[in-house]
Chains A and B, each alone.
Chain A
Amino acid sequence: MIGYAGADLAIALINVLLLGLLFVVGVAIARMRSLFAIVMLSGIYSLISATWFVALDAVDVAFTEAAVGAGISTALLLGAMLLTARTAKPETRAMRIVPILVVIATGAMLVYATIDLPAFGDPDSPANTYVGTDYLERTPEEIAVPNIVTAVLASYRGFDTLGETGVVFTAALAVILLLGFGERSLAATFNRKKDKN
């Protein structure tokens, strides 16, 4: 539902600009040495990519990215920063070259994979030919929820979503146990101060 004629061009422009910003943030994260700045920049990365997801009309994905990426994971990374060492090992040549090779290889594979993707809005694409149309037809009468993604997630695949929620809950519990919120992290802080003095 495009309201104005100029909207298409504006969206294209926004996509390019936001991806450029993401690139700048990514390079900065790779180059920086200060852990706190890196944590803040990863929060910024999440916010900008959430913006980009909104521009691509994936509002739910964007919201997850903003809540998890910019909110929870920033807090968790700060907690992890408290527990980690303050010194870094000296860089070797392999440490500089291997990551860029891995990134280039992964990027090349992803670009290669996009060649097989169906065109945007293609009526013959797998998403539009098999069960997708069935869900579209039956959701209004069977579930009566306006958002079909919600109907699929919470009703048609309700057990699957329940299992996922259990997995995410267990993971969060494990992270909290590892980081030691509350009393234990307080003790760690005091011990660290004693070591300094």
Chain B
Amino acid sequence: MIETAAVAIVIAIALTLIRALLGPTLYDRVLAVNSLGTKVVIFIGFLGFVLGRPDWLDIAVLYALINFVSTIAILKFFRYRSFQVPLHRRPVPKVTAGQGGDDV
């Protein structure tokens, strides 16, 4: 039972990894990294249960937070081509943003 669950999670990780490897556009890869982070959260929760250490759930929640923030950071980077653009004069790129692919 435990082995089945562990292997299932690892297979899910492998599937998102395949998407990250193939993923033709930028957003496929960002989404793959994000959902892989979610799989890691699940995996840590699962492992905490199996090894009898429920306090690992706190760590799993912290991973979810990091995952969220880093995804936002990556997407913001591709929207504005920079980190920390001042709020009052953000230039909106005309054509380049949102096209995906690797033309950065």
Contacts and interface: CB of A to CB of B under 8 A. Distances in A.
Interface of A: 1-4, 6-7, 9-10, 13-14, 17-18, 21, 24-25, 28, 34-37, 40-41, 43-44, 47-48, 50-51, 54-55, 57, 59, 63, 66-67, 70-71, 74-75, 78-79, 81-82, 181-183, 185-186, 189-190
Interface of B is mostly: helix
A141 B15 CA distance: 50
B41 to A, nearest CB: 10
A78 B36 contact: no
B6 A70 contact: no
A177 to B, nearest CB: 14
B51 interface: yes
Interface residues of B, number: 48
Given A10-B3, A40-B32, A43-B33, A185 B66 contact: no
A116 to B, nearest CB: 29
Contacts of B67: 70
B62 A63 contact: yes
B102 A36 contact: yes
A48 B63 CA distance: 12
A13 B6 contact: yes
